[in-house]
Homo-oligomer: A and B are copies of this chain.
Amino acid sequence: MAFNIQMIPLKWRVGHAGRGDAEPVEFVPAAVPGAAQIDWARATDMPDWNIGVNYLQYRWMEDCFWIYRADLPKTTLGADEQLIFKCRGIDYKYEVYLDGEIIYAYEGMFRPFELDISRAAADGGELSIVVYPIPKNPDRAPDSREEASSSCKPAVSYGWDWHPRLVPSGIWDEASLCVVKKERILHAEVRYELSGDLKCASITVDAKIGDASDTTDSAAAAAPPGDRPLLRFRLRSPDGAIALESTDLGTPLILTDVKLWWCNGYGAPALYEWELLLERGGAAKDAANGRVGFRKVSLEMNPGAWSEPADFPKSRSHAPITLTLNNVPIFAKGTNWVNPEIFPGAISAETYRPLLERAQAAHFNLLRVWGGGIVNKDSFFDMCDSFGLMVWQEFPLACNRYPDTQQYLSTLESEATAIIKRLRKHACHVIWCGGNELFNNWSMMTDQSLPLRLLDKLCYELDHGKPYLPTSPISGMAHGCYLFVYPDGREVYKAMAEARHTAYTEFGVPSISNLDTCLWAAPRDMLFPMEKNEATVAHHAFGAWDGADDTWCSIGTLRRYLGEPASLKQLIEWSQWLQCEGYKCIYEEARRQKPYCSMALNWCYNEPWPTIANNSLLNYPASPKPAYYAVAEACRSRLASAAIPKFAWRPGEEFTAALWLLNDGQAPIGPGAADVYLEYGGERHFLLRWEHDGAPANGNAAGPTLRHRLAVDAADAGGVSGLGAAAGEGGAAGAGSVSGLGGASGCGAKFSELKLVISAGDMSSEYRLIITE
């Protein structure tokens, strides 16, 4: 909205009280958008919640009423003007008062609102927002995420295996006071339908003008001829040329030669810009604008899935999960996105930018925005539009049994409606999903749960034709595991090779965080030796997940494979080594299972605070761990890959691995050659030269199986390998580079490194394994 708005700055203050109608003892300055907790901590010099167990000191804030106040200045309004208070979201249940009189009340953080407060213009006044204590389901386990199970408040803040219990409250998205013209564009949205051949778009402009009357047509009819308001629509193609211009919005506008929006790795994310001008007497009075990307999205059956099940008695075939963009089946490579901040109110576009740039650089094309977190701010979706990052958006339901009660359904309907209407216009948005892991026994929702049927209904009505999943995983898909060695004792190599799923929409391998992140969270003496203490527990190194007590640091696994680390630095290097190899294994194995498998999304991408150990690829706020680079390599469109049966090999054992060419590109891989080596004991052993025939477009090719008898003295020959540059930025395994081997000798290590190198130009890969007695 470029015209017509005069913003009036507000100075907010916030205080807390035990009742909503009580006067706070003290007010402190409030940042809007933000969170009451941040304001209070800043004003009262509370310690940083990111460090140690400081976050525990914030716990009392859950049960306060937070009361925001702002003084409205006296404002002169013209007869054609209104004074508006508008807000994009308040977390979570709240009431808005003008001079002590309630003017709005709502439960939910995702529905924006706009209030006409013109009556307060002449004399000024006081705006007050009372935010209730966070919702807690009294029938469920206290101090657990189950407290979030009867509200639409994102569950993650109630505590997760990578998120402390720290629950935000307050004005978390933009709020503004402004003077606007009564005659203005209240709403403008561009919808389209593509022709079957995707060459033409039939565009509908849905616009609403404010004044005495509500709609364009009747407003126009009431005005004297020659002075009717006119809506002018302009669409510019990605090169800036005007592709369409019309003042007749009663019928669909036809755009030909559509440049389609493509996701990362498949083409340019072409975006058209549109502008809607409200004109009267030849002059522009108001404007709205936006972007539109033309694409068709669907979920299609995975090849092979229709032929299952084969035998009688016969159940259903698995659900479709091949994401198809503009009729092209996509192998969806990506990650699970979580809140990038503990306090969503602190998120800005600059929070998102480095995270999304790295996602694009990692060859990702799909982000699953997990239902335990928030629905992100507009800038997130704007950037995803620009970067070609498709978004799978979940509604705020996760790992809980949300009820069939009328109260919950009513809140959910209102929140979901707001979410759908906000996101549906983004080209990047491709999948709706009811929430996380709702059909598993830690949630206990089912196909019959009314909240999920309601969400399906709303998506059907408001965003017709876009895929809807009730939850993840559904039939055919799978989540987990989140360890290098699974609870049943299988290594990730074996477990993934034995798996057969249509999509791996969560899988994780943990590591200890980068050194600087660890030292942010806790002092060095609480980190090494890595033991259970209040800081390592709080920051998720121990007892974070029920798979094992030493999750996520997996110190037991490290000791079993590698021995006793000599230093914190070495511990981190070892831990991150396993994360790198584990993630490469899973992404590449999922790709080998294409096309029956069509999706690989690791858990998780980012994190909301400095963890000591986590499955994430990035440390807070956006620092890559080595696994980020390893995953980026594994997600290259064209790749020479090895299916490796295990991590730890014995001297004298026959090493085996199967070679593959993986191709997600739309062009074939041509014939070529790859030289394959094993490096161990300080020597490079040439295994074979693979003269391959290439691979078809969007298809893989299996190659020979490597076989090599490891030397009987392999474990002690040449000393112990170190990690060299692998932990540094840009240090992903490069073809032919041998990592530095020094540095680890003399420590408690009990292995030597076994490196498999596939040298194949820009498709080269490396795998770092071990030889151990």
Q: Do residues B319 and A478 form an inter-chain contact, with CB atoms below 8 A? A: no
Q: Do residues B315 and A501 form an inter-chain contact, with CB atoms below 8 A? A: yes
**CA of A473 to CA of B317, assembled, Å:** 9
Residues A467-493 near B (CB distance < 8 A): 467-469, 471, 473-481, 486-488
Q: Please pick, from B446, B478, B488, the residue contacting A301 in the complex, using a CB distance under 8 A.
A: B446
Chain B residues with CB under 8 A of A447: 319-320, 469, 474-475
Q: Do residues B320 and A479 form an inter-chain contact, with CB atoms below 8 A? A: no
Judged by a CB distance under 8 angstroms, whether A560 is at the interface is no
- Nearest B residue to A299 via CB reads B448
Chain B residues with CB under 8 A of A476: 315
Chain B residues with CB under 8 A of A312: 478-481, 486-488, 495
Query: Which of A306, A315, A457, A473 is the most central at the interface, judged by chain B CB atoms within 10 Å of its CB?
Result: A315
Q: Do residues B475 and A316 form an inter-chain contact, with CB atoms below 8 A? A: yes
Chain B residues with CB under 8 A of A382: none
Chain B residues with CB under 8 A of A479: 312-315
Q: Do residues B320 and A446 form an inter-chain contact, with CB atoms below 8 A? A: yes
The smallest C-beta distance from A177 to any residue of chain B, in angstroms, reads 40
Q: Do residues A473 and B316 form an inter-chain contact, with CB atoms below 8 A? A: yes
Q: Do residues B448 and A313 form an inter-chain contact, with CB atoms below 8 A? A: no
Residues A494-540 near B (CB distance < 8 A): 495-496, 499, 501, 504, 507
Judged by a CB distance under 8 angstroms, whether A460 is at the interface is yes
Q: How many copies does the complex hold?
A: 2
Q: Do residues B477 and A448 form an inter-chain contact, with CB atoms below 8 A? A: no
Q: Do residues B478 and A314 form an inter-chain contact, with CB atoms below 8 A? A: yes
Interface string of A281-322 (1 = CB under 8 A from B): 000000000000000001101000011000111111101100
Q: Do residues A313 and B481 form an inter-chain contact, with CB atoms below 8 A? A: yes
Q: Do residues A313 and B457 form an inter-chain contact, with CB atoms below 8 A? A: no
Judged by a CB distance under 8 angstroms, whether A461 is at the interface is yes
Q: Do residues A504 and B307 form an inter-chain contact, with CB atoms below 8 A? A: no
Assess A471 versus B316: contact at CB under 8 Å? Given A404-B465, A448-B299, A450-B465.
yes
- Nearest B residue to A404 via CB reads B465
Query: Which of A301, A313, A477 is the most central at the interface, judged by chain B CB atoms within 10 Å of its CB?
Result: A313
**CA of A312 to CA of B501, assembled, Å:** 11
Judged by a CB distance under 8 angstroms, whether A444 is at the interface is yes
Chain B residues with CB under 8 A of A486: 312
The smallest C-beta distance from A611 to any residue of chain B, in angstroms, reads 22
Q: How many residues of A contact B (CB 8 A)?
A: 53
Judged by a CB distance under 8 angstroms, whether A708 is at the interface is no
**20 new A-B pairs (CB below 8 Å) besides A313-B478, A315-B476, A450-B465?**
A306-B444, A311-B488, A312-B481, A312-B486, A312-B488, A312-B495, A313-B504, A313-B507, A314-B473, A314-B479, A315-B475, A316-B439, A317-B439, A317-B440, A317-B441, A319-B439, A319-B447, A319-B448, A320-B446, A404-B465
- 30 example contacts (A-B, Cβ-Cβ < 8 A) are as follows A299-B446, A301-B446, A306-B444, A312-B479, A312-B487, A312-B488, A313-B481, A313-B501, A313-B504, A314-B440, A314-B479, A314-B480, A315-B474, A315-B476, A316-B440, A316-B475, A316-B477, A317-B439, A317-B441, A319-B439, A319-B447, A319-B448, A447-B469, A447-B475, A448-B467, A448-B468, A450-B460, A453-B456, A456-B456, A457-B461
* Interface residues, chain A, with chain B CB atoms under 8 Å away: 298-299, 301, 306-307, 311-317, 319-320, 404, 439-441, 444, 446-448, 450, 453-454, 456-457, 460-461, 464-465, 467-469, 471, 473-481, 486-488, 495-496, 499, 501, 504, 507
